[in-house]
Chains A and B, each alone.
Chain A
Amino acid sequence: MIGRRVLSPKVSQAAAFALLWTSGAIVMLPVIAVVAVMVLLGARGLTWRFLTAASGGLLPAIAGTACLVVLTTLIAAPAGVAAAIYLSEYSRPGRAIRLIRLAIVNLAAIPSVVHGLFGLALFVMLLGFGRSLLAGACTLALLVLPLMITASEEALRQVPQRLRDGSLALGGSRWQTVRRIVLPNALPGIITGLILSVGRAAGETAPILFTAAAYSSTHPYPRSVFDQVLALPYQLYVMATEIPNVPAEAKWATALALVMVVLGFNAVAIVMRARLRAARRW
């Protein structure tokens, strides 16, 4: 109250805007700091040999994460895209849709470690997958499902109504319209969402803690979907907390590799989306 009387509106605006600019800068800081610290401390250790060595190197963990992510996408993408098609093309506004949207937000808000518990109870134990690539991928698929639905739905909604109307007016059925008109036009947007989900799945640790991850295994690479896998984020966690005497260089190099993979996927998706928005013809 005092401030309002003492300071002229112009001065208080200048002060407030300075604070707003500062807060914008502070929020940018951690991303820059994370990348800078990783590169400074990790780049030296991230040699080609460390990356590609099958024992004592990162290759098994990278391969494990790749397997997890591919399988996760294979499971989540069809379901997510189908759900998005339902929401965008088939549903009518009403209570059911409200509930579905609330459930999607809810699913996204469930702590990742709780997803892990669910994966343990359902996939590992009840369905008998064991601690395995498959159980981990199913758990991760559930985790990225909301992201995939939301991104795909947004892409589908961007397709202008007149394209649908044109197809329907020519006698196309609803599914034909979706299949031949809406989906092809929404595809780049859907793929962007897919890449975002891949980035998310590659960085998650908590959901695979008790469903898939191993630190070392007799086989460095999974031979089937029922094998445990090594994974980059889990590797980093174990190196940092459980294993004594890991050289600092190896730890930072592992962290750098993980950050590069995760932020790399995200950056690609963000750039793709920006290009798509700029290039939109409608």
Chain B
Amino acid sequence: MRRGRHPAWEFVIEWAIRMAGFLAIVFVLLIFAFLLRDSLPIFRLRSLGQLVVGRIWSPTAEPPQFGFLPLLLGSFYVTLGALVIAVPLGLACAIFIAEVAPARIREILKPTVELLSAVPSVVFGFIGLLLIGPWLATRLHLPIGQFAALGSLLLAFMAIPTIVSVSEDALRAVPRVLRDNSLALGATQWQTICRVTVPAARSGIIAGVLLGFGRAIGETMTVLMVTGNAAVIPRGLLGFLRPVRTMTATIAAEMGETAYHTPHYFALFAIGLLLFLITFLVTVAADLVMRRSAWARR
């Protein structure tokens, strides 16, 4: 072991390792700083109120209009629609994996859920655009095959893996003794799941839903391809069957053709900043919720 001991070399390496440990913090701060730097100029041209509740997004009009409201609502429509599908399905799947499924089924289901999370979002968008959208449009007599609910449907499958894996961890962390006590008192397995295990894993499940929300609202390529990209304010339930445009899709569609450091560029960065803040809050909230639980501490 003595061979090759170089104290100076070792010192440098250990110093580098310590620095690397803080890389994640450094980059989160750097990303925040750059988003702020390149979006601040837009706040000199428009007030925060004008931006956030502005009802028209028309950056190439004369004069340009930078209202985030249609995009913000578009994102929330698509995301909430996705959660309506993904939360019950994801939670049921997590309960199934953690409590009910035989080992052999579990061994197949878990990797499949992992593969689901690995399918590139451009592939979901592609299938939605070429197959599911046109098919649904003829079935539902819609004018075009690109609309909010289609985005929700596809995003649901991208949020499900997050919800499943976080909730499953939470369910597994519930001490065995709680289940055993309930069963010993004569409760059925299902009663135990409903009234003991799931309530005990509550905080982890909420965290999973929050992280699933974060995943869905940040998805870009799928919504860009299937939601029609019409920057209009969606209204009512019928809004789900009309084209919308999300914040992520707006950035992806427009940044490529936007000149550097123009008001349009700054406005797109401001949308990016808003997205960053939303996912930041969601993650911190998930972390706080998780921390409140007695046993899901990781």
Contact = CB atoms under 8 A, between A and B. Distances in A.
Contacts of A259: 119-120, 123
A81 to B, nearest CB: 8
Contact of A112 (B16, B34, B164, B218): B218
B276 to A, nearest CB: 5
A23 B95 CA distance: 10
Given A13-B188, A255-B126, A258-B123, A87 B115 contact: no
A109 B214 contact: yes
Interface in A242-282: 248, 251, 255, 258-259, 262-263, 266-267, 270, 274
A266 B112 CA distance: 10
A107 B126 contact: no
Most A-side CB within 10 Å, residue of B2, B34, B215, B217: B34
Contacts of A106: 24, 28, 279-280, 283-284
A104 B23 CA distance: 9
A125 B260 contact: yes
B1 interface: yes
Main secondary structure of the interface of B (DSSP, over half): helix
A210 B95 contact: no
Kindly state the interface size class of chain B when it binds its partner.
35 or more
A28 B283 contact: no
A199 B115 CA distance: 11
A97 B109 CA distance: 33
A67 interface: no
Nearest to A113: B220
Contacts, number: 264
Contacts of A206: 121, 220-221, 248, 252
A30 B80 CA distance: 20
A86 B22 CA distance: 9
A33 to B, nearest CB: 8
B183 interface: no
A195 to B, nearest CB: 11
A227 interface: no
B275 interface: yes
A10 B121 contact: no
Contacts of B115: 31, 263, 266-267, 270
A122 B24 contact: no
B20 A82 contact: yes
Contacts of A30: 116, 119, 157
Interface in B88-117: 88-90, 92-93, 95-97, 100-101, 105, 108-109, 111-116
Nearest to A248: B130
B31 interface: yes
Interface stretch (A53-61, A168-176, A186-194, A217-225): A168-176
Contacts of A21: 96, 100
Contacts of B30: 118, 122
B101 A103 contact: no
Interface residues of A, number: 86
A111 B121 CA distance: 12
A237 B124 CA distance: 11
Interface in A141-160: 142, 145-146, 149
B104 to A, nearest CB: 13
A23 B116 CA distance: 15
B211 to A, nearest CB: 7
Interface of B: 1-2, 5, 10, 13-14, 16-18, 20-25, 27-28, 30-31, 34-35, 37-38, 88-90, 92-93, 95-97, 100-101, 105, 108-109, 111-116, 118-127, 129-131, 157, 160, 164, 187-191, 193-194, 211, 214-215, 217-221, 225, 248, 251-252, 255-256, 260, 268-269, 272, 275-276, 279-280, 282-284, 286-287
Interface of A: 9-10, 12-13, 16-17, 19-21, 23-24, 26-28, 30-31, 34, 37-38, 79, 82-83, 85-87, 90-91, 99-100, 102-107, 109-118, 120-122, 125, 142, 145-146, 149, 167, 170-176, 180, 199-200, 203-206, 209-210, 233, 236-237, 240-241, 248, 251, 255, 258-259, 262-263, 266-267, 270, 274
